[in-house]
Amino acid sequence: MKNEYEQQQRSDYLYEQHVTHLTLQDKRPATIDGYSRALRRITHHLDKSPDTLTTDDLKRYFAQLIKTHSWSTVRIDRNGLRKLWVSYLLHPYLLELYFVRLQLFFRKHITTK
């Protein structure tokens, strides 16, 4: 139980930091709302703190999201989560590479539809 509590505390802290950083970067309220919603959505969907997610977690999440949400939502989630990981969590190179590959996937499917 303590581990779940600590994980929730960590997720809450990262969420607050994410919103604070976006505000300090003078992002528009709609951008802050979309990016923070992406963080809440993936945290709830995978029941994990964002700083513990792996590329496999991201694959599962985005595979499900593509089936249930619009491309606009998928892009907003991708951008918001990328901003969190690349800017604040400084995750390993593999996560950045995964986001680049995901972006290429979006371009292919958006231009062909």
Using the predicted structure, report yes or no on whether residue 7 has a pLDDT greater than 90.
Answer: no
Q: Angle, nearest 10°, between helix axes 55-68 and 93-112?
A: 20
> What fold is seen in the domain 2-112?
DNA polymerase; domain 1 (1.10.150)
Higher pLDDT pick, 113 / 76: 76
Higher pLDDT pick, 55 / 99: 55
What is the overall mean pLDDT for the chain?
82
Q: What is the pTM of this model?
A: 0.72
Q: Angle, nearest 10°, between helix axes 71-82 and 55-68?
A: 160
pLDDT for 91: 54
Higher pLDDT pick, 96 / 51: 51
Question: How confident is residue 1, by pLDDT bands cut at 50, 70 and 90?
Answer: very low
Question: How confident is residue 86, by pLDDT bands cut at 50, 70 and 90?
Answer: confident
Q: At a CB cut-off of 8 Å and minimum separation 6, what does 11 contact?
A: 43, 49, 50
- Pick from 3, 4, 14, 13: nearest CA to 90: 14
- Tens digits of residue pLDDT in 13-59: 888 988 998 898 899 999 999 999 999 999 999 988 888 888 889 88
CB 74 within 8 A of CB 106: yes
> What is the C-alpha radius of gyration for the chain, rounded to an integer number of angstroms?
14
